[in-house]
Structure 1
Amino acid sequence: MILVTGATGLVGSHLIQHLIQKQQPVRATYRTAIPSFAGAEKVEWVRADILDIISLGEALVNVTQVYHCAAIVSFHPSQKLLLHQTNIEGTANIVNACLLAGIDKLVFVSSVAALGRIRKEETINETMYWTPETSNSEYGKSKYLAEMEVWRGIGEGLNAVIVNPVIILGAGDWEKGSSELFKSAYKEFPWYTEGVTGFVDVADVVKAMEQLMNSDISGQRFILSAENITYRQLFTTIASCFGKKPPHRLVTPLIAAIVWRLEAVKGFFSGKAPMLTKETAATAQAKVYFDNTKLLKFLPGFSYTPLPESIGRICNELRKKYTFK
């Protein structure tokens, strides 16, 4: 039996669908309501919270493999406590439960934020770690500390692998997360930055996770990134796919600084999380390059989907999901 946490997220939901298509027995956790997506009826759903060690222990009965995808992704200062509880304490609980249950292997979904992604003139690889100087977010810190819990588990005998995806592209809920990038392009958001980062297809993330799970590889972490491109290139490609006008107004550092401050004030009075924060503004301006060669050396048969091909498929999936032309 395979256990998946974070089934409502982009990675978790796509992973479950992938495993079901391969007729694998899947158990997944949920907290309040069972999510709805293709193949969900074939999943054994168990109500469990990664902050509740008793329910976790029950969820792990007869489980041999665990994919830990559950996490909070937020760059809002008010979410600091929730970030630490879910990402750090929750991962510690997963690690402890896996050790106690004697599972065969754990694959943990971390993030390149845990590597410290704000670095000048350095290509980021798996030897790097978060430091206050190299990361601009509490989220990055929380994922770094979550990784430390997995390394602790490895030191105690847990068979585990960590993956560090870059920005993941997929047809998820385009009201939130990375899928919102597609909505922005569809709505002809006019602004762009010359910032550079890595992007990867959610299908490739899932494929890499499954191959790592079913390999003899353990005690390793892997950056998952198909290609480093500018945000402008990404938005232009998505807009072209939708037949929309591409972004045409450059966001300068000064404009970004003004906007995130205005968003902070608006969020203070509205009580809603701001669309742009100091951290996300800095990330969008940064030129960050990721080295994806380690995974390709460990999995020589693995290859990434070209980003234009991924974007084309995802745009078509979103057209069907949201019923627009």
Structure 2
Amino acid sequence: MILVTGGTGLVGSHLLLDLTQTEEYIRAIYREGSSFDAVKKIFALNLGKTEGEKLYKKIDWVKAPLDDIPALNKAFKGITSVYHSAALVSFNPADTAELRKTNIEGTANIANLCIAFKVEKLCYISSVATMGLTIGEEYVTENFTWHPENDHTEYAISKHGAEIEVWRASQEGVPVVILNPGVILGAGSWKKGSSLIFKKVDEGLNYHFPKVTGFVGVKDVAAAAIKAMDSPVKNEQFIVITENISFKKVLQFVAKHLNKPAPGKQLKPWMVYIGWILQSITTWFGGKKLIRKGDHKSLFENTYYSNKKIKEQLDFKFTPLEEVIKETAGYYRKWNSIDY
């Protein structure tokens, strides 16, 4: 039996979409307050409502938060392989404690249970946020070195800590694979995460910025995870990006396929810096601080990632990014017509 954590999230829901189309038994864990609507809509949009409902019912949903050891113990009974995609994604400095609790401590609990239950293989969905450029190299590769003295975001620190827990499981005899996706695009909750891009463009987003980074479709992330798990590869890490492209170009593609005007104004570094100052002032009166002082610089720094390893070792083929965006835009337009 396969266990998926984070099953109601962007990656987890697409893992479930693919895995339920196999002969495997699937269990997914969720926490209090989780909504299943997006998962059901993803199944319906991809498979049709009748087939989607049929396959959705194959999922054995178990309430088991990552910090509830007794519940996790029950969820792990009979499990042979684990896809760990549950995570908190936040760049709000106020969420530091929760990031570490969910991403590091939660992953430590999953790793411990994989060891205790002698799970055959564990796949962890991490992020390129944990990776950095090696001096003298043009592209970030899997052979990077983590430098703790660098100015990492709290999110990156928490995901790096989670990776350490996964590697610990590998040292205890659990075969593992770690995937590090770039910015993930796909259908999901349009009010948060990278899917918010579609909603913002639809609402008339005015500004773009030139930053180049790695992007990938969520279906490719799910497919890469399954291919890595089904392969003999173990104790390896893979960057998962389709291509390195600017946010400006991505926003233009989104606008094109939503039949909306493309954002025409370029965000300037001084605008973000002024925004940080104004935000800092609001914290004096109890407001939340959402941006760190140094974050405005990262919005204008280009980072190029190499996907050579996954293409060569797993013979993985990526879906062109504009094709991903076109399909996702279509799902966005149909989203509210799916009734649950």
User: In the alignment, does 2:310 pair up with 1:295?
Assistant: yes
When the two structures are superposed, what TM-score results if normalisation uses the length of structure 1?
0.93
Residue equivalent to 2:50: none
Distance 1:246 1:280, change over 3 A: farther
Which of 128, 151, 173 is 1:112 aligned to? 128
User: In the alignment, does 2:13 pair up with 1:13?
Assistant: yes
**1:49, 1:56 within 8 Å by CA — same for their partners in 2?**
yes
Determine the C-alpha separation between the residues in 1 that align with 2:206 and 2:326: 21
Q: Deviation string for 1:267-296 (max 9, x for gaps)?
A: 66575574x554653332110100000001
Which of 235, 245, 249 is 2:261 aligned to? 245
Structure 1: state its 5+ residue gaps: none
Residue type of the partner of 1:20?
T
Residue equivalent to 1:35: 36
Which of 133, 144, 169 is 2:160 aligned to? 144
Write out the 4+ residue segments of structure 1 that deviate beyond 6 Å after TM superposition: 117-121
User: In the alignment, does 2:182 pair up with 1:181?
Assistant: no
- TM-superposed CA distance for 1:263, in Å, is 3.7
Task: Please list, as runs of the form range in 1=range in 2, the aligned pairs for 1:157-306 lying within 5 A after superposition.
Answer: 157-266=173-282, 269=285, 271=287, 274=290, 277-278=292-293, 280-300=295-315, 302-306=316-320
Identify which range, 31-40 or 241-250, moves more after superposition. 31-40
- TM-superposed CA distance for 1:258, in Å, is 1.1
How high is the sequence identity, in percent, across the aligned residues? 40
**2:133, 2:144 within 8 Å by CA — same for their partners in 1?**
no
Residue equivalent to 1:94: 110
Residue type of the partner of 1:314?
T
Residue type of the partner of 1:164?
N
Determine the C-alpha separation between the residues in 2 that align with 1:59 and 1:257: 46
Residue type of the partner of 1:30?
Y
Identify which range, 45-54 or 115-124, moves more after superposition. 115-124
Determine the C-alpha separation between the residues in 1 that align with 2:336 and 2:274: 33
RMSD over aligned CA atoms reads: 2.1
- TM-superposed CA distance for 1:323, in Å, is 4.8
Q: Deviation string for 1:198-251 (max 9, x for gaps)?
A: 100000000000000011111100000000001100001100111111111111
Which of 327, 330, 333 is 1:313 aligned to? 327
When the two structures are superposed, what TM-score results if normalisation uses the length of structure 2?
0.89
Determine the C-alpha separation between the residues in 1 that align with 2:3 and 2:101: 21
Determine the C-alpha separation between the residues in 1 that align with 2:92 and 2:190: 19
- TM-superposed CA distance for 1:173, in Å, is 0.7
Residue equivalent to 1:24: 24
**2:133, 2:141 within 8 Å by CA — same for their partners in 1?**
no
Residue type of the partner of 2:242?
A
Distance 1:227 1:208, change over 3 A: same
- TM-superposed CA distance for 1:16, in Å, is 0.5
Structure 2: state its 5+ residue gaps: 44-54
- TM-superposed CA distance for 1:174, in Å, is 1.1
Residue type of the partner of 1:172?
G
- TM-superposed CA distance for 1:4, in Å, is 0.3
Aligned length: 322
Determine the C-alpha separation between the residues in 2 that align with 1:8 and 1:270: 32
Q: Deviation string for 1:145-199 (max 9, x for gaps)?
A: 1101111111111111000000000011111011011112112211111110010
**1:118, 1:283 within 8 Å by CA — same for their partners in 2?**
no
**1:116, 1:128 within 8 Å by CA — same for their partners in 2?**
yes
**1:240, 1:246 within 8 Å by CA — same for their partners in 2?**
yes
Distance 1:143 1:56, change over 3 A: same
